[in-house]
Chains A and B, each alone.
Chain A
């Protein structure tokens, strides 16, 4: 499915949140550098995984890419639309062509809405099916597309199980015929036996509709399964990006290596033999991130200059991106 044509292009994207204190005289007392200069492409038809520990900035990247947060700096281009400057018709087109799926699809929706209202809303907003009856037909079609029965249209979200609710969220995201979907931890709240159902559905839809995904998750086993390429994030920045099998079999960045070595393996023989790289301490605060390489405070191979110089985001091998001073480029490249 994957082509060599980028559908999404992100360059030096930054999103900082000021922390304000005071009621009468509000002042900025600090800045959360939630996303601090990330660059990558997402190719048409591929699934790019985005992994990293909680608070490292994954959701902020997703939201900023879709124009839900104004960026602090940098650019995002989705299917030719420059997100950071889009206005009017361009913005409306973007709202149709790029969608998001959340961990809890109903957290931000009115619980008194029926499934029909929830899934049909994007059709109304974008005036895609002005005719009421045609709209109801389309909602039924969408529900069937995600494996639910068209008979469910008049029910309410609380009448559904977690897996079914996620299907409804997916149907809603698909209503406006998007090209690109940011999936933000879509299976994190689901039981193991249901996760596989939803992942299979997302894969089928991708094949059927030619969708491109950014798949944000913290389950690294599932990410390997579903993603063509994977980006690893630490404290607001990308540390590594490569094809899934390359990243999992030959991780270059010491953080990626530590992260992978901590993933629990469902095989007692492997689990017992495995060498873990146990990182010391906690992730530092994104308010005052460490200077130089942000990982240097926990890095097992850090050198003095790592605390001073920000490592460049570069290809250590063709299409294998890494931000680390200590990783050598492959001979001859």
Chain B
């Protein structure tokens, strides 16, 4: 409790006495951040499949597997931040349906089991059967289990794989929207908090999720290509850049609209939010999220729409842009989660927040959560390498 006494000294103005401690810290920032990456990556994958954007083909499987790796981790920071993690099953057994958070368990399971796993399974089933015959030892076992015993690879069965996979993708798009729109709703539905309570919140979350997910796939595609020492498909990268640009514009417009609306309506909470934005959130909002995460990528990608520089130049720029966007969206989540708790609901003062280094809610732990999906992804890529798929030509 030492840190609370420390914070007590840094309280500005008046806050309700229970508001000194921020209830939601870095872990709750990671939760919407990671789910956002999932939703975004998945939507990028579906673009290829459902909207038949063929140039995106090289990233299709990567995007899917990325979504899976991040989804596996997505719920963990949330659960580990609970006061009683072992009671978390209650969300599934007795969900209180009036609560946005209660649906989380089901949305999560739906998305994991029905959408992602099934889509990947349909997509890889043919290869799993082949690989289970080709490889030896433990790997062979794993592949065998993963086929779930469905080893029929007649053209008829393969046609079904394709068909069912397609249906799942079509279901998957609204599911991805649901998954993240709903995360926005968790915040947007809190009428007590004027910084959160806006109908646009789910939409903003969704768009920023798409932005971050697309940037993540862009980033990973380049990294994976470098590691594998294969040539990056520039047409594909440009296409991703194009989509990133489009969604960024939408995201930027809506977020600005939200702020303009706030400023123009200037409700009861306006003064305190103004102080928040120009005070405690200056760096994270204007510099990190606004300038670095949005404006610079927007201008760069916009410039690329008019003039495409040489490949040698474009690659590092794309790389940089994807990093900036990922960084910016992280701080978007930061500004929502932390910003919403810094000011008092009495609108008369601020508490303060300092990210600790150690402990369950500390920086290092957050870093672990952030690295974990990448490790899982490397494992999945090792197990199910998209570049070794046999079915490539048949699909």
Same complex for A and B? Answer no
**Which of B's residues lie within 8 Å of A, judged by CB?**
none
**Which of A's residues lie within 8 Å of B, judged by CB?**
none
